[in-house]
Every structure is written in C-alpha cells, then in structure tokens.
Chains A and B, each alone.
Chain A
Amino acid sequence: MSSESRPIITMTDITKVYTVGGEEVRALDGANLTIREGEFVSIIGPSGSGKSTLMNIIGCLDVADSGEYILDGQSIEQYSEEELARIRNKKIGFIFQNFNLLSRMSALANVELPLIYQRIHMGDRREQAAQALARVGLTDRSNHKPTELSGGQQQRVAIARALATNPAILLADEPTGNLDSKTGEDILALFHELHRAGNTIVLITHDPKIASQAQRRINIMDGRVTEVGA
C-alpha cells in the first residue's frame, strides 16, 4: 500500500489532559498521525506513554481535548455519546487483549452482537456473522460458548466480531498479550492474512517484536508520536 491510498485516520495536534489527584497529566501532547487505507500499522510505547489514550481516541471511546481527528472522512469532535457509539459500531472493529467476549453467549451470538446494534435483521445477521466466523476458521465452533474455547479460539471469535461489520479499521490492543507465543503467532498470521485481504489494521503493543511485524511502526513516548522506519 503506497501513500496514494486514502487516509483513514488523520490526527492533527491531538491533546488529552487528565487530572489525577489534582495534578495534570498530559497523556497526549500534540500528537500527529496519519494512517491510510489498507495499512498495517503498529503503535508501540511503554506503559504510561499515552498509548491507551491514543487507542481510546482512535477508537472513539474518548474524545480529544483539542486538535482534529478525522476518521474515514468524518471529523470526530462534538459528538454525543449516542453518536460516538454509532461511529464505533460502523467504523471500528475492536480486538482486546482479554478478548472481551460475553460468556453467556455462543461464539456466533458474540459475533452477531455489533450487527444487532446496527439493526440488521436476523437472517442477514446470522449470515454475516457466520461468514466472519468462517474467515477466522471457526465455523465448527459457532455454537460453543467462550468458556468452551481455547484462548486462541476466543481471540479468533473476537476478531470475527470485529470483522463482522466491515469496519474502516481493525483496532487491536495487545491482541497476543494473553496468549502463549505459538498461539500469538497464529493470531499475528491471521492479521497478516486480513491485511492482505485489504483490511486496515492498527495494532497497539508494548512488545517491539510484535510491533516489527507491521508494515509501519509508530512510536509513542510521553504523549508524542514519532514514526520509526517506513
């Protein structure tokens, strides 16, 4: 993917300040970032670097105090919680370190969940969810509950859930953090496969080895973003 492709994420001078115990913490201090369609980008930084804040803002779970953030051509600024939820639903596919599946529901039902919030009808929803599960190779585990699945399988279900809505970006936060190295590699291989299929992937990690798997690495340190390599 070259620089000609359309930018999915454009951040300009993003600042986010938290007040912790009466003291101001500048979690993001004028961060600038561009991620284009079809890219596989890793964001790496130690804990306390502002990594989580950046992820929350990219994922529209939080809004910046100042600066401009354009996601898929849409400026994310003064939106209500309800509208942010809709944007997350349509444009973001979250993949979490601890999978975050709903334990009461089957794998298929978990994958269906974001589609429910899109008000897609039952038949279509089932089909889309089943397709997403097929893409991560778990068709035969559709009716298993998360507790009946291995960690790797659970993460695959989570990836299928993220894929189900065809989001603008897949946003993965330490997706291999809770997995053994062999399973972690499998998951990373799946990311590569999804990348080849044209998905835009943002992978957030503290592990340089995992970060290096991405096409492009972005460093974050003390709330500032710097590019590493190309």
Chain B
Amino acid sequence: MIVQSIKMAWEAITSNKMRSFLTMLGIIIGVMALVVLVSLVNGATGAVTSEITALGNDMVTVNIRDDKGSPMRLEDLDELAVLDAVGEAAPSGSMNATAKFGYSDVTVSLYGTTPAYYNVQGLHMKYGRFLKTADVENASYVTVLAYNTAEELFGKADVVGEQLTIGGRSFLVVGVLEEDTSLFASMIGGYSAYAPFTVESRMADEPYVTALSVSPGGNTDETESQVESFMLARFNQDEDAFRLMNMSSISDAMSTVTGTLSLLLGGIAAISLLVGGIGIMNIMLVSVTERTKEIGIRKAIGAGKKSIMMQFLIEALMVSLMGCLLGLALSWLILEVATVIAKTIAFSMSIGVVLLAVGFSSIIGLIFGLYPANKAANKHPIEALRYEG
C-alpha cells in the first residue's frame, strides 16, 4: 500500500509540475538557509579553531596590570622557568615604532624579548637566526623581521646583514621569520619586528616586564595553575595585579560564540522552513478540494479513510522531502562556490546538518500534511462523487 501511495503521490506531483515546484520552493529555500548558514559558521569556526591550535601552541600569556611597587625584572623570569610545569618563559615588551630603510618606511610593532620567545611562540626562521642570549646581555641593536615586514621595507625577504632604523636607531637585521600565511595573521595584519628585551625596554622607557608568555612543560592546565600561584605569590595574592590567558580559553570562548551564532541562524532558517510547511498545507488544501471528485471515486470503489489519508499524507511528505533534496543539492553547490571564493576555508555539509534538514523537512511535511489529508479522508463519498469542480 505504501508503494502504491508513493506512486500515486508521484503521479499527483508530476501532473502539475509548476505548482509542485513552487510549493517545494519554500522548503528548498528553508533547507538552503539552514544548511548553508550552519555550514558556513561551522566551516569558519573549524578554520579559526585549527588556526588557533596551530598558532597555538598552548602557551600561557600573562599581562601585568599593576606591579604593586615591586615590578618584575628579566631575572625574575628565571624563577618562573624552573617550575616543573613550565617549559620556557619569555618577556614580550611591545611598542610601536617607525622602521625605515632608504625611502620606504612602515609602522611596526617592535617586540622586546629573549631567545626563549622563539620556542614559546612556535616561530620558524626563513633566513638567518633568532635573537641570542648575548644580544640580550649586550643590548645589541639587532633585529629579527617578520617576512611581510622585510618585503614591505626592502622589497625582498632575504635581507640578513642589512641595516635599517627603527624608532630612529640603527639596527642590524640578523634574521627573517617564515611567512605567516595563517588566517589569523591575515585577520590581525600589521608588521612586526623583534629586538632584544634590553634594547626595546630602553627605547620604550619601560625597564620592567609587563607581559610574558610561557610554554607548558606538560599539561597546560597545570602550567596555568603553577604560573598563577607564582604570580599570586609575587603580587601579594592580588588577583587584579595580572591577567592570565591561554589559547584554549580563547578557543573555548570562540566556540561558545559560534555555537550561539549557529543556533541563532539555524533558528531563523527553521522559521523559513516553517513558512515552507505552511505553503505545503495551503496547496494541499487546494489540491484536496480540486480532487474531491477523485476522492469520491476512490472511496466508491473501495478506498477506506486510511488509504486516502495515507495518499495525501505521503504526497505532502514527498513534496517536502523532494524540496529538501533539491535544497541540499543547491546548498552543496553554494558551499563549493564559497570554498572557491574563501580560498583558505573548506566549507562542507556535515552529516549532522543534513540529517537535521531531512528530519525537519519530514516533520514539517507530516505536520502540515496532516490537516489536508484528514480533510480528504473525511469527505463523504456521496457528496464527493457529486462534486463538480
């Protein structure tokens, strides 16, 4: 009987293709909205999250906001570095300065740090070397440039041995980092350069450590708690003296935001599916009235209420599911195009969202098909036979 009902539904749907398509359109658009929006958010979240992880390393950063009259010195970092859950610790002083080479100049973020920074931040050299302990101890005017900074200033990347000025002082370029092609870098943008902490602190007139980053010796959570108790001890148990951050807390916050976002977008899409369902009900009601005679004939030759009910219900379900299928196909196409356009992000439909779309469409088809189907099933055969449309 179900096979027959499906056949009948197919005949009814194909006998009025334009109308069936327009009815489906509501569902097509609804499914498209649902799948595309959720997939876009998921794709972007996935990309950003993997960037953070890649960037990430799982370092812990500390910003000192109030030194309580006992500021941290570079030597204090050695005490931090000996903690068993701490790998390495590096200061990161920062200032903005103008870098000049010949006639070109660019505003750079100059970071003052120590050799440990290289491992803590997970950097990679393209040319030359990173800062050395001797550079810090001697306060040498040497600098390591980010790849894009070198290109911007020199028009090329291999500039080890060149001289340039930063903040009016002459620096020797000892190294150039690998190009950072990550989404994160392109989002944040800007140019950076790295100098010995002793040099940068003198230029910035900030002799103390105000920011530092720590790489974990093992478990990041443990690192975080050890660093925290160290800092608390250092600043008389004042929690407001510093702020502690790690990348996983950033990505946690981010997934909460995107989770809410996809819920919101999904909700909007669900509303458009609901509207699509109402469209189905509307057309099914028209169809039931138009086909009153057919219902009468079917009943006269022996179709029971259940058979008629089933026929119209399956018809509504089929319209809805066909719309869903078309919507999924279009969504796939849109996501493929989006992937090509976005270049760095690969958008794809997850099984979850596909199942959600199919499930939701089925429920919509059934719920909004129920009333028209019931109306059809309850028609009295004699009156239905007499109907002249």
Contacts and interface: CB of A to CB of B under 8 A. Distances in A.
A60 B23 CA distance: 37
A82 B381 CA distance: 12
A59 B300 contact: yes
Interface string A71-104: 0000000000110011011100010100011101
B102 interface: no
A57 B33 CA distance: 54
Interface string B301-339: 111111100000000000000000000000000000000
A117 B1 CA distance: 8
Nearest to B301: A114
Given A62-B382, A104-B15, A89 B1 contact: no
B293 interface: yes
Contacts of A61: 299-300, 381-382, 385
B234 interface: no
A61 B299 CA distance: 9
B305 A82 contact: yes
Contacts of B183: none
A118 B1 CA distance: 9
A189 interface: no
Interface residues of B, number: 22
Main secondary structure of the interface of B (DSSP, over half): helix
A161 interface: yes
Given A100-B293, A102-B294, A86 B302 contact: yes
Interface in B283-307: 293-294, 296-307
Given A61-B382, A62-B382, A161 B304 contact: no
Contact of B301 (A94, A104, A105): A94
Given A62-B382, A104-B15, A117 B301 contact: yes
A173 B77 CA distance: 104
B302 A117 contact: yes
Contacts of B306: 82
A125 to B, nearest CB: 10
B302 A100 contact: no
A56 interface: yes
B11 interface: yes
A207 to B, nearest CB: 21
B304 A100 contact: no
A118 B302 contact: yes
A169 to B, nearest CB: 14
Nearest to B4: A116
A85 B297 contact: no
A209 interface: no
Contacts of B302: 85-86, 88-90, 114, 117-118, 165
A100 B15 CA distance: 18
Nearest to A165: B302
Contacts of A161: 301
B300 A94 contact: yes
A104 B11 contact: yes
A102 B297 contact: yes
Contacts of B303: 85, 89, 117
A86 B300 contact: no
A62 B298 CA distance: 15
A82 B296 CA distance: 14
Contact of B11 (A82, A86, A89, A105): A105
B373 to A, nearest CB: 15
A182 interface: no
Contacts of A119: 1
B307 A100 contact: no
A161 B302 CA distance: 12
A117 B382 contact: no
Contacts of A113: 298, 301
A100 B299 CA distance: 12
Contacts of A165: 302
Nearest to A119: B1
A96 B296 CA distance: 12
Contact of B304 (A59, A85, A116): A85
Nearest to A89: B302
Nearest to B307: A117
B158 to A, nearest CB: 77
B11 A88 contact: no
Contacts of A117: 298, 301-304, 307
Given A61-B299, A85-B302, 4 more contacts: A82-B304, A116-B4, A117-B302, A117-B303
Interface of B: 1, 4, 11-12, 15, 293-294, 296-307, 381-382, 385
16 contacts: A56-B382, A61-B299, A61-B381, A62-B382, A81-B304, A81-B305, A82-B304, A86-B304, A88-B301, A100-B293, A101-B297, A104-B15, A113-B298, A113-B301, A117-B304, A165-B302
What 6 A-B pairs come out closest when comparing CB atoms?
A: A89-B302, A85-B304, A82-B304, A117-B302, A114-B301, A100-B297
